[in-house]
Chains A and B, each alone.
Chain A
């Protein structure tokens, strides 16, 4: 068929008959994900300070460093004399990384942006992809089949996130809320929606069955139907929850470093 137009092309990459601006989405998503990766690396290795702040007795914890398991009285973690480079995020972040990395939505994003397989629909792949040969999710990406195990771990993390939100509600003088509560609450809500709309959860809840007739299976059918509704917007929850993790961290950093002041609104004294 006819050679493509637009974009100066190198070999097969970008060869297409499309006339719209198909490169916008992969580039935008690529920039967003790369920025997220660099920011996380900076926060983990170079600047792992100011991970939380106290406000009149309440604690607001950065989402990246939550749960702060180094403070836990579990397996003697709080007494562990850990090396200087170890922090809570390094110990816990593999769970959200694994969950997001094997996510059925995220897979679409990174196959398109980072592996150009394909860059966009109806756009030819670079010749190197064809030279290497295509293995789909059979070879290198076979680990993606472990998505459900990361899901189990992510559910535990979500529960702890909500527990963290309650810590922002309790002040010396009583119960109330702060700006930190809103940001952490929104973050926990978005993450909950992201996990609830998961494809693997949808399958485990009821999708694995063909019949939803009586008792438990009827309940699982209803659950499947409900999750299917959220599942349609899995990508939306992916991006918003990812964004709020970094927003929450920036907020915590800014307050802890004294650039912004948070306020406590005490209702029940």
Chain B
């Protein structure tokens, strides 16, 4: 069904300084629009001062994260045909900013916390000799994590942060992916396991997989990053056989 000429109602969160309300708008749709196009149309036709963060319109910059009909998504990658289909006829499409982060204005939130955590992570420490070769299989594994566009939809989704607000104890899915990327790097010599357990609080994750469900880059956050790191934490702290083996072989590790 063509959407051209269809009149569509929206409710968009507007306001700042803790006073946010859903405001009603109606625009005429065109064929092939995405949600961000509609926001731009509202900006152009009705509200020139509506704040929205966007950049590439191609799902690569990770700027236009918002909650569309209660589901966190990138506005530029969400087709209006899909959103209209999921919204009951006559109901407005609701667009809100990400819930977990401090609100700045309208659809814009402050995601600074993620960068602060990232700064606490020990960077990759390469070997001293100059032979820095590794094979494709090893490269693929960590390359997968580099597809992250830092839209922070996973952080916004994670109930540890969204519902329990444990921003001081838990690093969030995005930074656990970063930790996995460094920790599993074939040439990295740094050991981050004690920090992953204590400082970054990986045990607070109860692997309910919402972060993987929401990732627009298709990264298997839970299976490939978090569970793999959790298993490494088990190796270090909870596996008695490995502990005995380390004692026998006199392998020294940090706890």
CA distance A117 to B232 in the complex (A): 24
- Determine if A20 and B239 form an interchain contact, defined as CB atoms under 8 angstroms apart: no
- Whether a CB of chain B sits under 8 angstroms from the CB of A212 is yes
Binds A, one of B33-41, B55-63, B112-120, B203-211: B203-211
- Determine if A199 and B223 form an interchain contact, defined as CB atoms under 8 angstroms apart: yes
Binds A, one of B1-9, B156-164, B243-251: B156-164
- Determine if A17 and B160 form an interchain contact, defined as CB atoms under 8 angstroms apart: no
- Whether a CB of chain B sits under 8 angstroms from the CB of A213 is yes
- Whether a CB of chain A sits under 8 angstroms from the CB of B126 is no
Q: Looking across the interface, which residue of chain A has its beta carbon closest to that of B231?
A: A203
- Determine if B208 and A17 form an interchain contact, defined as CB atoms under 8 angstroms apart: no
Q: Name A118-157 residues within 8 Å CB distance of B.
A: 118, 121-122, 124-125, 129-130, 134-138, 141-142, 145-148
Binds A, one of B24-32, B44-52, B69-77, B171-179: B69-77
Q: Interface residue count for B (Cβ, 8 Å)?
A: 54
CA distance A135 to B138 in the complex (A): 34
- Determine if B67 and A207 form an interchain contact, defined as CB atoms under 8 angstroms apart: no
Residues of B close to A17: CB separation below 8 A: 67, 69-70, 94, 96
CA distance A1 to B231 in the complex (A): 37
Partner of B210, one of A1, A118, A207: A118
Chain B 222-245 per-residue mask, 1 if CB under 8 angstroms from chain A, else 0? 011001100110110111000000
CA distance A213 to B164 in the complex (A): 43
CB distance from B10 to the nearest CB of A (A): 14
CA distance A1 to B188 in the complex (A): 43
Chain B 114-157 per-residue mask, 1 if CB under 8 angstroms from chain A, else 0? 00000000000000000000110110000000000000000001
B residues neighboring A (CB under 8 Å): 13, 20, 22, 67, 69-72, 86-88, 91, 94, 96, 99, 134-135, 137-138, 157, 159-160, 162-164, 166, 183-186, 188, 201, 203-210, 213-214, 220, 223-224, 227-228, 231-232, 234-235, 237-239
Q: List 15 A-B contacts (CB under 8 A).
A: A17-B70, A17-B94, A18-B69, A18-B70, A19-B69, A107-B207, A122-B67, A122-B162, A125-B159, A134-B160, A145-B237, A199-B223, A203-B227, A207-B228, A225-B137
Closest 6 CB pairs of A and B: A17-B70, A136-B204, A121-B210, A18-B70, A203-B231, A145-B238
